[in-house]
Amino acid sequence: MAEPSARVKSIFIYPVKSCKGISLSEALVTPTGFRWDRQWLVVNENGRMLTQRVQPKLALVEVELPKEAFSESWEPTSDSYMVLKAPGMDTLKVSLIKPRDVVEHVSMWYWNGSALDEGPNAAEWFSKFLGNPYRLVRFDQASQIRETDPSFANGYKTLFNDQFPYLVLSQDSLNALNKILKEPIPVNRFRPNILVEGCGPFSEDLWKEFKINKLTFNGVRLCSRCKVPRTDQETGIVGTEPTETLQRFRSDKVLLPHKKPQGQVYVGQHSVCKDCFTGDKGKIVKVGDPVYIVKQLSSTAEAAA
């Protein structure tokens, strides 16, 4: 077998969208992404999603799940909780048992549907911390489907992720960026699911098909970055970097010269897992797994964005 092009350095999930992530040694691949990833969402009074773009204080909310929740066959019991912590707030415990109440007209981007309501305690907690009325909802996988954009990945689905189930980023890309930033930034600014290393800066742009632990992934679209990477994930303070620097060498004008520029900057690649729908057990990605490139583009200019 050919030598691997990279290795998995870190794995992250973000159970509550826009809150702090959890670093894992291994993660279970499901039809909607890694298990527990973006299963919860904070919404306003109208059911519209809330993210760090509008409320950067979400970055300060720590999320904990029981260790056993990451075992493949584990199912929650009445004693199973997600624990949330934030500065100046009491600890919030959210039962992992499926709630019964439903919130209608939940919306994010172009998707509208219903979601499961995590109740008045969670609503009061987020409202107090953020200063406006909010609720915490859970994706209702029994009744709702969020399909990925068929122009890029037809037939796939996700939960409360922005667009696609996985975001892949290389440590080499982050290192290259940090060499030219006045103040280096940590990987949590970019919120990847799979951080790889050993492949060279921004080589993940070119990965059309790659394998991790015998699972086939497809790179489907370059990740255009919003203002979240400008938010210090430890303080919630929003600055101008790294976007200002990225405009110089990672903008659509530079990377995609044949397309009309929209003022976007790109870091990382959205991906889907081709093998996510099979019933086989053991679909797991682990830190240290080799990454094998099966197909790749010849230049970033060919990439979908």
Give 6-75 as a DSSP string: EEEEEEEE-SBTTS--EEESEEEEETTEETTTT-EEEE-TTSBEE-TTT-GGGGG-EEE--GGGGSTT--
Q: What is the pLDDT of residue 278?
A: 81
CA distances from 261 to 221, 252, 253, 268, 304 (A): 16, 6, 5, 18, 14
Residues 16 and 198 sit within 8 Å (Cβ to Cβ): no
Q: What is the dihedral of CA 12, 14, 18, 20, to 10 degrees?
A: -70
Contact 105, 46 (CB under 8 A): yes
Cα dihedral sign for 106, 134, 90, 236?
Answer: positive
Q: What is the structure's pLDDT at 1? A: 60
Ranges of the chain whose pLDDT falls below 50? none
CA-based nearest residue to 267, from 183, 214, 192, 198: 192
Q: Which residues contact 77 (CB under 8 A, 6 or more apart)?
A: 97
Q: Can you tell me whether residue 236 is helix, strand or coil?
A: coil
pLDDT of residue 268: 98
CA atoms within 13 A on the CB side of 47: 15
Q: Is the N-terminal amide bond of 242 cis, ω within 30° of 0? A: yes
Q: Specify the amino acid at residue 64.
A: E
What's the rounded Cα separation, in Å, for the pair 84 and 216?
Answer: 34
Distance CA 223, CA 217 (A): 16
For the record, the structure tokens of 46 come out as 């109208």
Q: Which of 70, 57, 56, 54 is nearest to 11 (CA)?
A: 70
Alpha carbons 116 and 122: distance in angstroms, whole number? 12
Q: Is the dihedral of CA 165, 241, 64, 58 positive or negative?
A: negative
Q: Where does residue 222 rank: exposed (0-12), middle (13-18), buried (19+ CB within 10 A)?
A: buried
Neighbours of 132 (CB within 10 A): 11
Q: Is 119 within 8 Å of 101 (Cβ atoms)?
A: yes
Q: What's the CA gap between 124 and 28, in Å, rounded?
A: 32
Q: How far apart are CA 187 and CA 6, in angstroms?
A: 17
Instruction: For 218-274, write each residue's pLDDT tens digit.
Output: 999 999 999 999 999 999 999 999 999 999 999 999 999 999 999 999 999 999 999
Q: Specify whether the CB–CB gap between 173 and 267 falls below 8 A.
A: yes
